Every structure is written in structure tokens, then in C-alpha cells.
Structure 1
Amino acid sequence: FTPTYCDQAYHMFYLLLPSLEDRQALISHLRSHGILAVFHYLPLHLSEFGRQWGGKEGDCPVTEDVSARLLRLPFFYSLADSEQARIVDSICSFVTKDVRTRRASMA
């Protein structure tokens, strides 16, 4: 939700993957295509400051789960349409390959 009197900052673009393993596999896949996508979000209770105040693993299980599955995609002002298309195509090829692999393992 963005109030009508404000503009959205749009400073990051995330994907939420089904698992940590899927996130790591997509990072590797994108890297093999020359695309840098990174893990970004550290739950505040697990940060150095949060731990000083008693934060520990397991305190916020939903936050920790989502954090482990988030992937930040390249997102910057000068990202050309062709670069955006290459990122999308690479993600689509990963998803398509993953679906084929899962189907083959079920047969």
C-alpha cells in the first residue's frame, strides 16, 4: 500500500522461491548466464544489533523462512530493456528446466 500523496521508491525487486535450495539453484543458474542476483535480507533480530538485544534463531520463524527464500534481482535505472528480457528469459529457462526435472523424477 502506498498512500496517494506518496511515490513508491521501487528500489528493489524480489522473487520469493519455494525453498532455500531453489533460491541457491536460481542464483547459480543466473550466475552461469552472467546475471548477478543476490541474497539480501537479514532478519533484524538476527543482525548483530538484534542479537545484542537477545535476538536468536527461531524467534521469528516466518521472517526467517521468508528471508531464506528471497532473491533480489538486478534493478537499477539504466537497466536496458534487452537486459531485462535476458533476466526474464533466464528465469523462465530455470523454471522450465526445474519443471521438466520434477516431472522426470515422478515418472
Structure 2
Amino acid sequence: MHFGACGRTLGGRVSEDRKQGVAKARVCGGMELLFDGLTLTKATVQGPQAGGQVEMRHVIAHVKDHLLTERPDLFVSGETVRPGILVLINDSDWEIEGQLDYEVQNGDVIVFISTLHGG
């Protein structure tokens, strides 16, 4: 699975047992400030339990808990992303793909883009 968007990358794949994965991501639209400007890193995302699939809710929790360096309230609200953050999975709006319930597949590209800009 790959996370992507305009500037920050986290790299990798979902393991064969699909209970964990290493991901590649980018963030943009001003969100890079929340991630200390880091442009490339690798991260392992765990499923909830043995035999469990890695879903988008796990990806978002991992990004919040391990990659975000400040102001988590600007990235997440509860277990989902805040309004104003566009999430794309393989260039499709994640609302079409099932949002938090989407089961991440090997080779997926996940992009987080902030659509809100201060004036």
C-alpha cells in the first residue's frame, strides 16, 4: 500500500498475511507543516488482531499516532480525517471506496490533501 499526496511520502507494501503493512505517503495543501516537513519515511501499519485486515481506520490511526508531529486536531476528528481533508485511494475519492471500512490492498496509493487554506 502506498500513501500519497503532494509532498510527504511513507513507503511500502502490505505483507502476505495482510495483518500488517509498510506504507508510502505524501501530504500537501499545508498539511506538511503538521508532519515537520518530512518528505520520505517508512511505517508499518498493524491490523487489529490476528487474521485482521488493514483498513483505512488503521492507516489514519497510525499516521496520527506515529507520524503527525503537532496539532492532531487539524488532521483527525475521532477516528476519521477532519472535514476539509480530501482522501484519495488509487485516484478515487475514498467515499466511493468505503471510507474507514476500505480494506487496503497491496499496491494501493493513498493520498491526503488539505483543501482548507488560511487567508
Alignment TM-score, normalising by the size of structure 1: 0.28
- Larger RCO of the pair (alpha carbons < 8 Å, separation 6+): 1
- Rg (Cα) greater in structure: 1
Alignment TM-score, normalising by the size of structure 2: 0.26
Answer 1 or 2: which has greater strand percent: 2
Answer 1 or 2: which has greater helix percent: 1
